A and B are shown apart, each in its own frame.
Chain A
Amino acid sequence: MSIKKLQTGITAFDHISAGGLPYGRTTLISGSSGCGKTLFSAQFLAMGIQLFDQAGVFVTFEEQVEDIRINLRTLNWDIDTWEKEGKWVFVDASQKDDDSLTVGDYDLSGFQVRLERAITKCNAKRVVLDSIGSVFTQFQEMNSIRHELFKVTLALGRLDTTSIITTERTEEYGKVSRLGVEEFLTDNVIILRNVLSEEKRRRTIEILKFRGSMHEKGENLFTIHPEQAIVIIPLSAMDLKYRSSSVRVTSGVAKLDEMCGGGFYRDSIILVSGSIGAGKTLLVANFINGIQKKERCLLLAFEESREQLFRNATGWGQDFAKLEEDGQLKVVCIYPEVSSLEDHLLNIQAIVKEFKPDRIAIDSLSALSRTSTDKAFREFIIALTSFLKHQEITGMFTVTTTLLSGGTSDTEGNISPLTDTIILLRYVEMSGDMQRSLSVLKMRGSKHDSSIRGFTIDDKGINIGEPFIGVSGILTGIPLRS
């Protein structure tokens, strides 16, 4: 039996938290400076208003109200109207310029009265206190302030609100908070991180605990999107429950279809591995050309420009310009370095949702992997493949190997378990002649031709020939005639 949750409306958060924030309770959000605590909290209120028509109270102990308004407007949240309609109420508890002298005992009942009044006035369902650390800098008596804040959280529960309290921490991996507030806010804790890892920033969200309730464990990547604010990429919550299609689609090369036992599965991911010039882009071109009438293909090029791609395709007898004119092809060329992988992922998802392709080709993944750490790249691939499979899109990704013949790439080692089909393109040196070879290394859920075949490229494209017979050691790069 899980406790009742309040759906937040924040993308994917409700998914990783198995339904949202614990209803009628206070959740502590802890993180270092700049981790997105205030944004997450503000988004919690904004989504409440936009999606569920629930009013919210935002208590600021630190930032000035006008600064917060300015920040909210940049996300296209209509704070002015919300305030006018009484859906969003600020309680300004920020420190004012005038110094105040402390003489004798005091409590924070002034704050409590104002907070309760704000909540009842707008019938708030959601409350944010940002950030509690500043209360301790405004008032010195740690113990009594802690006690006062505890009373505040009791009041929040009594008023039937679901609330967030934010707090700072000094290290990304250490004590939950530097203030000891977890003593009374111990039931529900979320940690936001902004870690520098190999020169790249990695933002993650972790639900440390939700007492008495299910949630995903571990860190989930998120990114701050200029329009959607915080977008979580729920890795741990991804399931492998997508349907598995038995429908076959053509690779665009009849002989290759034959080698794969009748073509690729429609919702499969195909990895094409080969060195520079081994014919990867050619296979991609055929894959694109394999689309049927009324089907669409999206090509994401991270290495070559449009002009180069179109010219090469023409060289193989294919007319990309015509396909694009007919709306069957969309070519998007992006420099991998322009954004982080999380942002690339969101961008790709947005393009896919808009264009609704049946196929997607990425040339090449290796270019993308250069911009990130191994871990982040792996997470990117998991998220991307899962997304594509849910949409039943056939995907072809290329990776570049460093050696001309033989060898594997780092990228490949990282992602091959996540793909359904692997095609190896390798050079073979035979009697002083560089020959090209193609083999289907893996074909999940189907029989396939296990031979290594030679192939040639001419102005009509690819011609797959006969298996190399009587030669061994091709994949090691040192072929021997036996």
Chain B
Amino acid sequence: MSKLALHLYINGKSHISVEAIDNLNTICQEKVPGEYELEVIDIQLDPDRAEEAGILAIPTLIRTWPLPVTRMIGALTVKSRVMAGLGLSNL
């Protein structure tokens, strides 16, 4: 279990949701290609998951591995901050 595990909660096809998926994939493919697992959860299709995770803001990114669990909200537009938040800065 050394792979980076990420959950991204989005709301259908709203533009900030699409933007967040694109931004996250770009960063991860560049920095940790093949070393991450990203699960995208659409709260419209799976509201129970949103309830369990206590999601308020969309998009919300949760890093479930490595611990500790960290959260980030927003469309993940600033690459350097997303990397810092995921602990990828010094790679």
Contact = CB atoms under 8 A, between A and B. Distances in A.
Interface of A: 91-93, 96, 98-111, 113-114, 117, 138-139
A68 to B, nearest CB: 16
| Residue among B20, B23, B55, B60 with max Cβ neighbours from chain A (10 Å) | B55
Contacts of A138: 56
A108 B85 CA distance: 21
Contacts of B71: 98-101
B72 to A, nearest CB: 5
A106 B74 contact: yes
A108 B58 CA distance: 6
A111 B56 contact: yes
Contacts of A103: 72-78, 81-82, 85
Contacts of B54: 92-93, 96
Contacts, number: 96
A438 B59 CA distance: 83
Interface in B35-88: 43-44, 47, 50-51, 54-60, 68-78, 81-82, 85
A104 B74 contact: yes
Contacts of B69: 98
Nearest to A94: B54
A262 B64 CA distance: 87
A100 B51 contact: no
6 contacts: A103-B82, A104-B74, A109-B58, A110-B50, A110-B60, A111-B56
B75 A104 contact: yes
Contact of A106 (B23, B51, B73): B73
A436 to B, nearest CB: 76
A109 B11 contact: yes
Contacts of A91: 51
Contacts of B44: 113
A-B pairs with the 7 shortest C-beta distances?
A104-B75, A104-B74, A104-B77, A110-B55, A100-B71, A111-B56, A103-B74
Contacts of A111: 55-57
B16 A105 contact: yes
A248 to B, nearest CB: 69
A270 B51 CA distance: 63
Nearest to B55: A110
Contacts of A96: 54
Given A98-B68, A107-B16, A110-B57, A117 B51 contact: yes
B14 interface: yes
B11 to A, nearest CB: 4
A145 to B, nearest CB: 10
Contact of A101 (B55, B68, B73): B73
Contact of A109 (B20, B43, B76, B78): B43
